Amino acid sequence: MTPEQFVDGLRTNCRDAAVSGCLQSFQAPPGRRPSPALVELSDWYKSLSSDNQAKVAAAMHQAADATLFSVLCVIDGLSAIEPYGEKSEFKLSATRGGVDSVIAPGSEFLHDLLRSEP
């Protein structure tokens, strides 16, 4: 797996899937007894015009993208998650078929790969 494939997978299977899944839950809360908070949010969402529903979806996409960007900045070593003292350095690799691939650190920052979305 390359760093590009890793970031593409996060875009599709985490960011985009999270937004899509939330929007589906707003349309039809899952389960026999969905939480009252989700039902209330669903009722509100369904009361919106289709234009406003699209704006909610766009805002959710922005929030999910910002979250993913921040996580990748942590992995890249540009943001710290420890409150004080020496900061951790993160190393990320993937193994498939006995072959190890270094994802980070690499020649390019992961957050830059996210921003170069095709």
Could you give the 3-state DSSP secondary structure of residue 94?
strand
What is the distance between the alpha carbons of residues 5 and 96, in angstroms, rounded to a whole number?
13
The total number of structural domains that make up the chain: 1
Q: Which domain holds residue 31?
A: 3-115
Q: Taking residues 68-74, report their average pLDDT.
A: 96
Nearest residue to 79 (alpha-carbon basis) of 104, 71, 4: 71
What is the distance between the alpha carbons of residues 99 and 96, in angstroms, rounded to a whole number?
5
pLDDT surpasses 90 at 118: no
What pLDDT is recorded for position 117? 72
For the whole model, what pTM was predicted?
Answer: 0.87
The residues, ordered by sequence, that sit 6+ positions from 47 with a Cβ below 8 Å of its Cβ are none
Cα–Cα distances (Å) from 35 to 1, 18, 23, 47, in that order, read 39, 18, 15, 18
